[in-house]
Structure 1
Amino acid sequence: MNIIVFGAAGAVGYRALKEALARGHRVAAVVRRQEQAVDFPDSVAVHVADVLGADDLQPLLAGQDLAISALRPPEGWEKLLVPMTEKLLREAGKAGVRILVVGGAASLKLKGKDTTVFTEPGFLPEHLVPIATACQAQYELCLKNTKADWSYQTPPAILTPGDRTGRYRLGGDVMLTDEDGQARISMEDFAVALLDEGEQRRHRRQRYTVAY
């Protein structure tokens, strides 16, 4: 496949790019600033574009089979996540390119409860409330979109760098926990799940979650 990764300089985006390359796909990377356009393998076509700016995304999407949105705004600018996602959904829909959106865990229900990560009192540390708020709005935006061919992959509570085991479990609306009660996955295995979805197309216009 031809795959383009938006937010390719980020922690999840770069791992998704590497996973795609390891599987033999042709990969393009989109970064926001010129200084981010380094340290990519020679086989990767690197583009500098401002998703929210005046840059036309159609030339980047032309000929692509799959777009991965791994965009994450910097601290203090979390509200930009929604308009960035909105533009990518619109442009991917116009181009007829399937899009995988890397979401957040905010919308997931807690096991045995009717509350979610976002609505459970005291569950979120204060410093995570802004990005959780943005991710909740991002998910609601996707649900309303009927033109783009999207899928929305959410991590569990803990998403950190780690090992690539190729192992994970799939879930739906409820956060998955392991035998120790931990809701976690490595960024490497999160990327494995992203590419599995890209290749197997199991969750069209659906939210799903992955964890150990």
Structure 2
Amino acid sequence: MKIVVFGATGDVGTRIVTEAIQRGHHVTAVVRNKASLSKLPEHITVHIADARNPSEVAEAMNGQDLAISSLRTPSGQEGEVVGLTQSILKGAARAGIRVIIVGGAARLHLPNGSPHSVLTAPGFLPESVVPTARASYAQYELCSSDLVVNWTYASPAALLRPGTRRGTYRTGTDTLLVDEDGNSEISMEDFAAALVEEAQNAQFVRTSFTVGY
């Protein structure tokens, strides 16, 4: 499979690239400039493009089977992720390919019948991450309203951090996944594995899923 990855030099993006290559896929990494190429494996195909420009996005997607976008914005610019995602969706529509959007956990309902989501539950999120959560929820709403593109919106568990690739995880749809101790987490490595697995199997087309232990 030919997979093009936007945000390929980020924390999750680099792991997506590694996972896809290890599974034998042909990966094209889209970067804005050459300054971050050192974060990518040698001999990988690189495409220089501005993800804010739908025409450049579509050009990067041409000839690909699927796109994965793990784009993120710096602190203080969280709201820009919505515009970036809109550009990715427009590009995918023009190129006619499926796209997986790596989002956040804000949309997920809390377990055990709680009326709250990760975003709305009082005291659930540290104040420092609330702007990111609000932006990710707006990103999810944008995807949900798209009736043209074959999109998939992927939410990690509440805690996403570097770790190891266990190769075992659970997937769900709209409810936060927690373990037997009530913890909700997933390593970036296993999240990347789940994303590439979804790229291969297309289980959640035009809908959302979540990954956790």
Q: What range describes the TM-score normalised by the shorter chain of this pair? A: over 0.9
Separation in 2 of the partners of 1:120 and 1:48?
A: 40
Specify the SS of the correspondent of 1:100: strand
Match of 1:120 in 2: 121
Q: State the Cα distance separating 1:55 from its structure 2 match.
A: 6.0
Mapped pair 1:165 → 2:166: yes
Specify the SS of the correspondent of 1:29: strand
Specify the SS of the correspondent of 1:185: strand
Mapped pair 1:89 → 2:116: no
Contact 1:37–1:47 (8 Å) recurs in 2: no
Match of 1:203 in 2: 204
Match of 1:33 in 2: 33
Q: Deviations over 1:143-198 (max 9, x none)?
A: 00011110011001100101101101011111000011100010000001001100
Specify the SS of the correspondent of 2:38: coil
Separation in 2 of the partners of 1:201 and 1:54?
A: 24
Separation in 2 of the partners of 1:31 and 1:185?
A: 26
Alignment of 1:20-169 (within 5 A): 20-53=20-53, 56-112=56-112, 113-169=114-170
Which runs of structure 1 show a deviation greater than 3 angstroms over 4 or more consecutive aligned residues?
Answer: none
Structure 2: stretches of 5+ with no match in the other structure: none
Q: Deviations over 1:12-48 (max 9, x none)?
A: 0110000000000000001223211224223311122
Give, as a single letter, the amino acid of the residue that structure 1 aligns with 2:134. Answer: T
Structure 1: stretches of 5+ with no match in the other structure: none
Separation in 2 of the partners of 1:54 and 1:188?
A: 29
Give, as a single letter, the amino acid of the residue that structure 1 aligns with 2:24. Answer: G
Specify the SS of the correspondent of 1:152: strand
Match of 2:181 in 1: 180
Contact 1:161–1:186 (8 Å) recurs in 2: yes
Give RMSD over aligned pairs: 1.2
Compare 40-49 and 95-104 and name the one that shifted more: 40-49
Specify the SS of the correspondent of 2:79: helix
Q: Deviations over 1:31-87 (max 9, x none)?
A: 223211224223311122221148622221111001000000011110110000001
Compare 198-207 and 29-38 and name the one that shifted more: 29-38
**Percentage identity across paired residues of the two chains:** 48
Contact 2:54–2:90 (8 Å) recurs in 1: no
Separation in 2 of the partners of 1:53 and 1:38?
A: 24
Contact 2:61–2:95 (8 Å) recurs in 1: yes
TM-score, length of structure 1 as denominator length: 0.97
How many residue pairs get aligned? The number is: 212
Specify the SS of the correspondent of 1:4: strand
TM-score, length of structure 2 as denominator length: 0.96
